Protein backbone atom coordinates (compact mmCIF):
# COMPACT_ATOMS: atom_id res chain seq x y z
CA UNK A 1 0.00 0.00 0.00
CA UNK A 2 1.21 3.27 -0.97
CA UNK A 3 0.51 6.24 1.10
CA UNK A 4 0.16 9.70 -0.30
CA UNK A 5 0.52 12.63 1.92
CA UNK A 6 -0.79 15.88 0.72
CA UNK A 7 -0.39 19.13 2.37
CA UNK A 8 -1.65 22.56 1.74
CA UNK A 9 0.53 25.44 2.59
CA UNK A 10 0.33 29.11 2.08
CA UNK A 11 3.15 31.40 1.39
CA UNK A 12 2.66 35.05 2.01
CA UNK A 13 4.83 37.13 -0.20
CA UNK A 14 4.74 40.86 -0.31
CA UNK A 15 6.48 42.69 -3.08
CA UNK A 16 7.40 46.18 -2.17
CA UNK A 17 6.79 48.80 -4.82
CA UNK A 18 9.33 51.28 -5.98
CA UNK A 19 10.16 54.14 -3.68
CA UNK A 20 7.90 57.10 -4.33
CA UNK A 21 9.53 59.67 -6.56
CA UNK A 22 9.52 63.11 -4.97
CA UNK A 23 7.36 65.58 -6.88
CA UNK A 24 9.42 67.67 -9.23
CA UNK A 25 8.06 70.68 -11.03
CA UNK A 26 8.01 70.42 -14.80
CA UNK A 27 10.78 72.62 -16.17
CA UNK A 28 8.42 73.68 -18.96
CA UNK A 29 5.49 74.56 -16.74
CA UNK A 30 5.14 78.17 -17.89
CA UNK A 31 4.47 79.10 -21.50
CA UNK A 32 4.23 82.37 -23.42
CA UNK A 33 1.59 82.39 -26.14
CA UNK A 34 1.51 85.27 -28.65
CA UNK A 35 -1.96 85.66 -30.06
CA UNK A 36 -2.57 89.05 -31.66
CA UNK A 37 -0.65 91.99 -33.03
CA UNK A 38 -2.11 95.26 -31.82
CA UNK A 39 -2.62 97.45 -34.90
CA UNK A 40 -0.39 100.51 -34.97
CA UNK A 41 -2.11 103.83 -34.66
CA UNK A 42 -2.11 105.57 -38.02
CA UNK A 43 -1.59 109.27 -38.51
CA UNK A 44 -4.78 111.25 -39.42
CA UNK A 45 -3.08 112.40 -42.65
CA UNK A 46 -2.98 108.77 -43.78
CA UNK A 47 0.80 108.53 -43.54
CA UNK A 48 2.24 105.30 -42.28
CA UNK A 49 3.31 105.42 -38.64
CA UNK A 50 7.03 105.43 -37.92
CA UNK A 51 8.49 101.97 -37.39
CA UNK A 52 8.23 101.96 -33.60
CA UNK A 53 7.81 98.88 -31.44
CA UNK A 54 5.57 96.02 -32.54
CA UNK A 55 2.82 95.62 -29.94
CA UNK A 56 1.71 92.02 -29.37
CA UNK A 57 -1.03 90.78 -27.06
CA UNK A 58 0.04 87.59 -25.37
CA UNK A 59 -0.62 85.38 -22.39
CA UNK A 60 1.47 83.62 -19.77
CA UNK A 61 0.07 80.17 -19.12
CA UNK A 62 0.85 77.81 -16.24
CA UNK A 63 0.63 74.23 -17.48
CA UNK A 64 2.17 72.68 -14.37
CA UNK A 65 1.04 72.51 -10.75
CA UNK A 66 3.54 74.84 -9.08
CA UNK A 67 2.87 78.55 -8.55
CA UNK A 68 5.47 80.50 -10.49
CA UNK A 69 6.53 84.13 -10.74
CA UNK A 70 7.62 85.18 -14.23
CA UNK A 71 10.50 87.59 -13.74
CA UNK A 72 11.81 88.20 -17.26
CA UNK A 73 11.14 87.71 -20.94
CA UNK A 74 14.12 88.33 -23.21
CA UNK A 75 14.90 87.82 -26.88
CA UNK A 76 18.49 86.66 -26.84
CA UNK A 77 20.13 85.91 -30.15
CA UNK A 78 17.22 86.91 -32.38
CA UNK A 79 18.18 90.54 -32.96
CA UNK A 80 15.01 91.55 -31.19
CA UNK A 81 14.42 93.15 -27.83
CA UNK A 82 11.22 92.72 -25.87
CA UNK A 83 9.75 94.87 -23.15
CA UNK A 84 7.04 93.65 -20.81
CA UNK A 85 6.06 96.44 -18.40
CA UNK A 86 3.69 94.19 -16.42
CA UNK A 87 6.45 91.90 -15.08
CA UNK A 88 6.81 90.29 -12.63
CA UNK A 89 3.59 88.29 -12.94
CA UNK A 90 2.50 85.30 -10.86
CA UNK A 91 0.59 82.34 -12.31
CA UNK A 92 -0.83 79.60 -10.09
CA UNK A 93 -3.07 76.53 -10.27
CA UNK A 94 -6.03 78.78 -9.41
CA UNK A 95 -4.96 81.56 -11.82
CA UNK A 96 -3.32 79.78 -14.75
CA UNK A 97 -3.65 82.50 -17.38
CA UNK A 98 -2.39 86.07 -17.26
CA UNK A 99 -2.57 88.41 -20.26
CA UNK A 100 0.45 90.60 -20.95
CA UNK A 101 1.32 93.14 -23.62
CA UNK A 102 4.71 92.88 -25.30
CA UNK A 103 6.63 95.62 -27.06
CA UNK A 104 9.02 94.07 -29.57
CA UNK A 105 11.86 96.18 -30.97
CA UNK A 106 14.50 95.36 -33.57
CA UNK A 107 17.92 96.01 -32.01
CA UNK A 108 20.13 94.27 -34.59
CA UNK A 109 18.90 94.08 -38.18
CA UNK A 110 21.52 91.56 -39.30
CA UNK A 111 20.47 89.07 -36.59
CA UNK A 112 16.75 89.88 -36.94
CA UNK A 113 16.84 89.20 -40.69
CA UNK A 114 18.03 85.63 -39.93
CA UNK A 115 14.96 85.00 -37.74
CA UNK A 116 12.62 82.42 -39.26
CA UNK A 117 8.99 81.85 -38.23
CA UNK A 118 9.77 78.38 -36.84
CA UNK A 119 11.94 79.93 -34.14
CA UNK A 120 10.57 80.58 -30.68
CA UNK A 121 11.88 84.13 -30.40
CA UNK A 122 11.95 84.61 -26.64
CA UNK A 123 13.44 83.20 -23.46
CA UNK A 124 11.21 83.22 -20.39
CA UNK A 125 12.60 83.16 -16.85
CA UNK A 126 10.51 82.25 -13.82
CA UNK A 127 10.96 81.37 -10.17
CA UNK A 128 8.78 78.59 -8.78
CA UNK A 129 7.27 78.55 -5.29
CA UNK A 130 10.28 76.57 -4.03
CA UNK A 131 12.69 79.32 -5.08
CA UNK A 132 14.15 77.45 -8.07
CA UNK A 133 14.83 79.53 -11.18
CA UNK A 134 13.86 78.14 -14.59
CA UNK A 135 14.58 79.34 -18.13
CA UNK A 136 13.03 78.08 -21.34
CA UNK A 137 12.55 79.05 -24.98
CA UNK A 138 9.14 80.61 -25.35
CA UNK A 139 6.78 82.31 -27.74
CA UNK A 140 4.25 79.99 -29.35
CA UNK A 141 2.33 81.72 -32.14
CA UNK A 142 0.29 81.21 -35.28
CA UNK A 143 0.81 82.24 -38.89
CA UNK A 144 -0.61 85.76 -38.48
CA UNK A 145 1.94 86.59 -35.76
CA UNK A 146 4.75 85.10 -37.87
CA UNK A 147 3.68 87.34 -40.77
CA UNK A 148 3.51 90.36 -38.44
CA UNK A 149 7.04 89.71 -37.14
CA UNK A 150 8.39 89.28 -40.69
CA UNK A 151 6.69 92.46 -41.97
CA UNK A 152 7.86 94.41 -38.94
CA UNK A 153 11.48 93.25 -39.23
CA UNK A 154 11.50 94.02 -42.97
CA UNK A 155 10.03 97.49 -42.45
CA UNK A 156 12.45 98.43 -39.68
CA UNK A 157 15.46 96.97 -41.47
CA UNK A 158 14.39 98.50 -44.79
CA UNK A 159 14.53 95.28 -46.79
CA UNK A 160 12.38 95.87 -49.90
CA UNK A 161 13.61 92.65 -51.56
CA UNK A 162 12.31 90.46 -48.80
CA UNK A 163 9.11 92.52 -48.50
CA UNK A 164 8.39 91.97 -52.20
CA UNK A 165 9.14 88.25 -51.95
CA UNK A 166 6.78 87.94 -48.94
CA UNK A 167 3.98 89.84 -50.69
CA UNK A 168 4.17 87.46 -53.67
CA UNK A 169 3.22 84.43 -51.52
30-60 tens-digit pLDDT: 999 998 888 665 545 555 555 679 999 999 9
145, part of any domain: yes
- What is the three-class DSSP state of 150? helix
- Stated pTM of the model: 0.70
pLDDT in tens, 84-131: 999 999 999 999 999 999 999 999 999 999 988 778 889 999 999 999
How far is it, in rounded angstroms, from Cα 155 to Cα 105? 12
130, part of any domain: yes
18, part of any domain: no
> What sign has the CA pseudo-torsion 109, 115, 116, 121?
negative
Backbone dihedral region for residue 158 (phi beyond 0: left; psi -120 to 50: alpha; all else: beta): left
How far is it, in rounded angstroms, from Cα 80 to Cα 147? 15
Q: How confident is the model at residue 137 (pLDDT cuts 50, 70, 90)?
A: confident
Contact of 153 with 112, CB cutoff 8 Å: yes
Residue with the larger pLDDT of the pair 76 and 23: 76
**Structural domains in the chain (count):** 1
Which residues constitute the domain of residue 147?
30-37+52-163
- CATH code of the domain in which 132 resides: 2.60.40
Amino acid sequence: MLGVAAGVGAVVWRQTGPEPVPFRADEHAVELVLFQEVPAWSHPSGREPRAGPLHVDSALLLSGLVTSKIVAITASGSGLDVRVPALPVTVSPTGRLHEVALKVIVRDCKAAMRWIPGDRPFVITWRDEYGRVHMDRAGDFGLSIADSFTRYINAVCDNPTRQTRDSER
